[in-house]
Structure 1
Amino acid sequence: MALVPTTVFGAVLAGAIFGDHTSPLSDRTILSSIGAGVHLIDHVVTQQPYALVAAGASAVGYLVSGTTESTGLGLLAAVVALALAVLVLKGRSAVQRDESVSAHRGSRVRS
């Protein structure tokens, strides 16, 4: 079984983007929270569900692509996994928020 360079490169980039998207130490995350006027940790917590859905779909695609050595099947599996996740999660809130904790941290929108 040979490694497909494009699949490996895609997996490395997907992992890097996931880490950048969910890390509170990322410059993009810090600037986004400042721009939105919200507390940094609140911003990270609200972004994690979206990043986890995308990472899960990517993982399914990479597993299929790696076992079948077919990039097309891997892409199809990732799209199907993402579509199923959207159908299952449709209408649900990304984060169940406890207002008392948010108010305690001072995470209200700045004016």
Structure 2
Amino acid sequence: MNTRNRSFRVAAASLGLATCLGLATMSGSQAVASQTTTAPAQEQEALLGCLVIVEQGEKLPTSFNRWAKVRNDCGRDIALVTVQLDYHVDPTCTPIHAGGYAVYSWLATLQENVLANYAYECPAP
């Protein structure tokens, strides 16, 4: 894997996503339960580009990963999902801003019921 890439695990088993977070870590250590969307696979795949990060925090007590919440920002409500991010957060990743939230490009295709790692290639430092 390219050393410029960063990967993360998706805690919601029905959603496979990839992103690179350049946000400053917010404080907060409360536990966050994983949730999944109820939309069909094709619809979920279409919504991937609309997911936005609404909150992220410190490492969970039971995980070496940080957590973040994402939501849909395309005019539809879907369940919040919890994304467990690797502790290596690359500040060189460029976000797209929309609606007051940081929106990141999703490079992964939807893989239902697969808990997998994906990577987002960030610009060279």
TM-score, with structure 2 as normaliser: 0.23
Which has more strand, going by share of residues?
2
Query: Which protein is bigger by CA-based radius of gyration?
Result: 1
Which has more helix, going by share of residues?
1
